[in-house]
Structure 1
């Protein structure tokens, strides 16, 4: 299924759903960031996905990272909550989703890197190399906020 992101685009289709979702900012001991290349739009992103009925939000983080990357993680903190109504995502099935994303910090505790049906590439990326990747501006914002060790409170916006 394909996806097109619209950010403050007057030609964007109107949203018809809101799905709470998560992304995980995961760093290894070398300070590299766990990144995935999404199969739906080809862009690089933090691993994550939609919250399912019956899960705690931290369970969603652990499940999504495992499903998309093969890495087992432990949630260690909240980085930010992103609900910009000017960011919508249109999917091939007609869904147009308003952004509702919670970014968590997590640490790896096991597993082996692998791709999934949602990812074409998975890897640990040196922070200096992130600028070379095709990353949506809203995802870059999450990465910047999560990497900023001086923040004492989560971003909310």
Structure 2
């Protein structure tokens, strides 16, 4: 669902409102990446969620990763910006490294795992797997668009 905000200069509802989310591409020294199996739909994804209004993106990544996995992370660099054109969600993905904590599940996750790049491709949908592959590549940041299921090629 795409939400619209009334523009004070116009009576028409023409300005789309986007949600901003953040995710951590948490990479261990052995090259495995952190993933969660979401409690609400059972899919595997990088840990992340909606950025709070007064929160810096890096703080949001640290908070979301800890809430969903019990792990603390050091945030390194932005590796990609991914827009879901169907839902109006813009996701900022940051490469991170683990810095402590104890792995655990949460109300939002039913499993926490360290996946190989091959396992990422096998377990995750294209729109989430590419976020981790981009972070592992180190040649970003990438800007990509998708419809919630498939990537939309750049024009």
Please give the range of the TM-score, normalised by the shorter of the 2 chains.
0.7 to 0.9
What TM-score do the two structures reach when normalised by structure 2?
A: 0.79
Stretches (4+) displaced over 4 A = none
Q: What are the ranges of 5 or more consecutive residues in structure 2 without an aligned counterpart?
A: 4-16, 145-155
Match of 2:53 in 1: 53
Q: Greater CA radius of gyration, 1 or 2?
A: 2
How much does 1:140 deviate? 1.4
The structure 2 residue matched to 1:109, chosen from 99, 110, 118, is: 99
SS of the residue aligned with 1:20?
Answer: strand
TM-score, structure 1 length as denominator? 0.78
- How far apart are the structure 2 equivalents of 1:132 and 1:20? 27
Larger RCO (alpha carbons 8 Å, 6+ apart): 1
From 132, 147, 155, give the equivalent of 2:122: 132
Matches for 1:142-153 after TM superposition, within 5 Å: 142-149=131-138, 151=139, 153=140
Alignment of 1:1-157 (within 5 A): 14-16=1-3, 18-85=18-85, 87-88=86-87, 98-133=88-123, 135-149=124-138, 151=139, 153-157=140-144
Distance (whole Å) between structure 1 residues aligned to residue 122 and residue 80 of structure 2: 24
